[in-house]
Structure 1
Amino acid sequence: MEFLANYGLFFAKAVTVVIAFGAIVIMIVSASGRGRKADKGHIEVNHLNEKFEEMRDSLQAALLDPEALKLHDKAEKKRLKAERAEQKKKAKQNQEQVAASTDADKAEDIAGAAQKKRVFVLDFVGDIKASECDNLREEINAVLTLATPADEVVVKVESGGGMVHSYGLASSQLARFTDRKIPLTVCVDKVAASGGYMMACVADKILAAPFAVLGSIGVVAQLPNFHKLLKKNDIDYEMFTAGEYKRTVTMLGENTPKAKEKFKEDIEDTHELFKEFVSSHRPAVDIEKVATGEVWFGKRALEVALVDEIKTSDEYLLTLSETANIYEVEFTVKKSIQEKFGLAAQSAADRLLMTWWERLNLQRWF
């Protein structure tokens, strides 16, 4: 017993020292972070063609015997040498044509036509607040410094929707590509519903996996009301406003029929704006048929013109890699320890909320 008591005391002291040391480290890091200029983030670019080639080479190395692999490598080197020579020849001819042209616009078109098509790939995984919109903005800013109508932008969207104003802004960011006549393709592998579909419909082309979820063109707002509970316990709730409709329904006050009616009008107006937005970008859609708040799986979404083709993003990009250079663009920000802990907690809360939201709304499961 004396041994256990001594061991317990030693263990408690050790834990105290570790906690104290950790607290000191966090305070030092925090203090140094305050004195440093915040990291604004940076753009990272990955050449996906190289990734695909590395995967192919690894598989071939495992499947071919040494002699066959040697012959394959020899033939591949010969092919690459011929390809580089052809590119060099085309580049020289292009330079001569540009130099001979007296029209600046025509010279620019010649230079763009001779260049191999470039495809810029962006990822958007949305939460209720469309928090990734800040990173998306920076990625779009970077791509627009180089992209031309001869290129293409592919955005992989995954979102079940969220706040109207947040997803409205995210949609407007994507519209910057189409405004500049740069082809925009949105790929939906899992879900692009409600605000997610608001983003997707901006594209020139929407591709969806066979069982991706799309649609949910509707608006929902709900909140608990504790007025009866407060009244039962003789608790008064006072609210003062200037403006007849500054506040309509509340969680704590009594919601009058007039307030409820006004709130319903606001929701209906938002729904009308949503319908108009979808119709303006996808005129082939029978908006009255699809704007019921329902969702469709990929193949069914194709039947009602919510998407243009059934295809996964992987299949699409792999096919493009045969004729184009594909670049994955990502904006990353170095976060402090406090931010990492805070974002982890926020992300966990968002996931929990979305999980229960999906369960309450009777999602279909296999």
Structure 2
Amino acid sequence: MEFLTDYAGFLLKLISVALVIGFLLAMMASGKRKSQPGSLSVTKLNESYDAMKAELDHQLLDKKVLKNLEKEKKKKEKLEKKAQKKAPKADEVDKKRLYVLDFDGDIKASAVETMREEITAILSVAKSQDEVVVRLESGGGVVHGYGLAASQLQRIREANIPLTICVDKVAASGGYMMACVADKIIAAPFAILGSIGVVAQIPNVHRLLDKSLIDVELHTAGRYKRTLTMLGENTEEGREKFKQDLEDTHGLFKRFVSSQRPQLDIEDIATGDTWYGSEALENKLVDVVMTSDAYLVSHYANADVIQVVYKQPKGMAERLGLSFFSALEQKAVSWIGKLTQSRGY
């Protein structure tokens, strides 16, 4: 028993040392993460759809019917190959391509980092006959983050490639600012859209500090360098300037949406209110009520539907199984961001 106890103690020490060394290595390697190139994943969604259909046919249809279907399929493929050979130019037989991107937005619009790479890759090969479909989900966030995300989508429009945004759940505030860039907005019947407004909140603990006889000194150069603070005493002048900044940002938001969707009655819509998909159609916030799945399935027969995903390189912490620390950091940053953000869509 004494031997087992000593061995268990030694093993625990060894594990502890290994964890500490692994953590230190992760910290040292984290600085090199940005220099590592990411990878692009390209998946033809038609193939997975055809595979599912074939499996169902195999399980449900009579053998004789199944045999006839396979014969018809082979015959169709032969005819398509013949048509390709007879075509004088390769360009004339190129099928339309739908490039599918996913944007799942958080408060910082962090997904823009991968989306910008995906858009760059697509624009290097896309033709005017093709289309980019973005499946967008976001309740909004900081102004600069979603401003950049909308600007990235504008690159597609500027390249004269049709852009379609599909919203299955929510595209509100900054999310709708992104969506309105599209040539066509498609929303599921109960998707939430709108919230064209600006919100800001800052906690202030000055009175608590004052009761505890704790002074906070804040020195600025410039009258409006700091308007409202978390620790110091806020003034009416600072509050008025802060509110004016919100109004200015709201005006910028409204002008941007109006320039992208002139059919909207912006003064009636830009109240911060939201609408479900069917109501959004009546208010001209969207063009079609349909799920993203239905839209993509409708193109499988006549187009190559290709999902493009840019994968960021994993940091050392993730490779060593220490991603818990990374997740904890992200949660902390998100929480602090919600408390201290000055302006957000």
* Shared fold, TM over 0.5: yes
> What does 1:197-212 align with in structure 2 at a 5 Å threshold?
197-212=176-191
CA contact (8 A) 1:218 1:292 kept: yes
Q: Give the secondary structure class of the aligned counterpart of 1:320.
A: coil
The aligned residue for residue 94 of structure 1 is 89
> 1:344, CA displacement in angstroms?
2.4
The aligned residue for residue 48 of structure 1 is 45
Distance 1:68 1:317, change over 3 A: same
Q: Which of the numbers 318, 324, 328 marks the counterpart of 1:345?
A: 328
Distance 1:19 1:85, change over 3 A: farther
CA contact (8 A) 1:193 1:216 kept: yes
> 1:59, CA displacement in angstroms?
1.1
> 1:251, CA displacement in angstroms?
0.7
What residue identity is the alignment partner of 2:241? K
Q: Which of the numbers 61, 69, 72 marks the counterpart of 1:72?
A: 69
What residue identity is the alignment partner of 1:239? L
Pair 1:181-2:160 in alignment: yes
- Per-residue CA deviation, residues 47-74 of structure 1 (Å, 9 max, x unaligned), is 1111111111111111123343333222
Distance 1:36 1:174, change over 3 A: closer
Q: Give the secondary structure class of the aligned counterpart of 1:306.
A: coil
Distance 1:142 1:221, change over 3 A: same
Which sections of structure 2, spanning at least 5 residues, go unmatched? 340-345
Distance 1:343 1:30, change over 3 A: closer
Q: Give the secondary structure class of the aligned counterpart of 1:316.
A: helix
Q: Which of the numbers 16, 19, 22 marks the counterpart of 1:19?
A: 16
What residue identity is the alignment partner of 1:94? K
> 1:147, CA displacement in angstroms?
1.1
Q: Give the secondary structure class of the aligned counterpart of 2:126.
A: coil
- The whole-number CA distance in structure 2 between the counterparts of 1:59 and 1:20 is 54
- Per-residue CA deviation, residues 197-241 of structure 1 (Å, 9 max, x unaligned), is 010000000000111111110000001111111111111111111
- The whole-number CA distance in structure 2 between the counterparts of 1:274 and 1:33 is 37
State the identity %.
Answer: 50
The aligned residue for residue 104 of structure 1 is none
Higher relative contact order (CA 8 A, sep 6+): 2
Q: Which of the numbers 208, 226, 229 marks the counterpart of 1:247?
A: 226
Distance 1:27 1:260, change over 3 A: closer
Q: Give the secondary structure class of the aligned counterpart of 1:293.
A: coil
Which sections of structure 1, spanning at least 5 residues, go unmatched? 96-110, 357-366
The aligned residue for residue 106 of structure 1 is none
The number of equivalent residue pairs is 335
- The whole-number CA distance in structure 2 between the counterparts of 1:26 and 1:86 is 60
What residue identity is the alignment partner of 1:125? D
Q: Give the secondary structure class of the aligned counterpart of 1:185.
A: strand
> What does 1:305-320 align with in structure 2 at a 5 Å threshold?
305-320=284-299
Distance 1:35 1:333, change over 3 A: closer
Pair 1:138-2:117 in alignment: yes
Q: Give the structure-1-normalised TM-score.
A: 0.84
The aligned residue for residue 293 of structure 1 is 272
What residue identity is the alignment partner of 2:89? N
Distance 1:66 1:25, change over 3 A: farther
The aligned residue for residue 36 of structure 2 is 39
Distance 1:301 1:34, change over 3 A: closer
Distance 1:170 1:240, change over 3 A: same
Distance 1:246 1:116, change over 3 A: same
> 1:27, CA displacement in angstroms?
4.9
Pair 1:333-2:307 in alignment: no
- The whole-number CA distance in structure 2 between the counterparts of 1:234 and 1:323 is 73
The aligned residue for residue 168 of structure 1 is 147
The aligned residue for residue 266 of structure 1 is 245
Distance 1:37 1:274, change over 3 A: closer
CA contact (8 A) 1:128 1:350 kept: no
Q: Give the secondary structure class of the aligned counterpart of 2:298.
A: helix
- The whole-number CA distance in structure 1 between the counterparts of 2:81 and 2:326 is 47
- The whole-number CA distance in structure 2 between the counterparts of 1:335 and 1:234 is 47
- The whole-number CA distance in structure 1 between the counterparts of 2:179 and 2:28 is 43
Q: Give the secondary structure class of the aligned counterpart of 1:44.
A: strand
Q: Give the secondary structure class of the aligned counterpart of 2:89.
A: helix
Pair 1:233-2:212 in alignment: yes
CA contact (8 A) 2:33 2:314 kept: no
Distance 1:203 1:36, change over 3 A: closer
Q: Give the structure-2-normalised TM-score.
A: 0.89
CA contact (8 A) 1:230 1:236 kept: yes
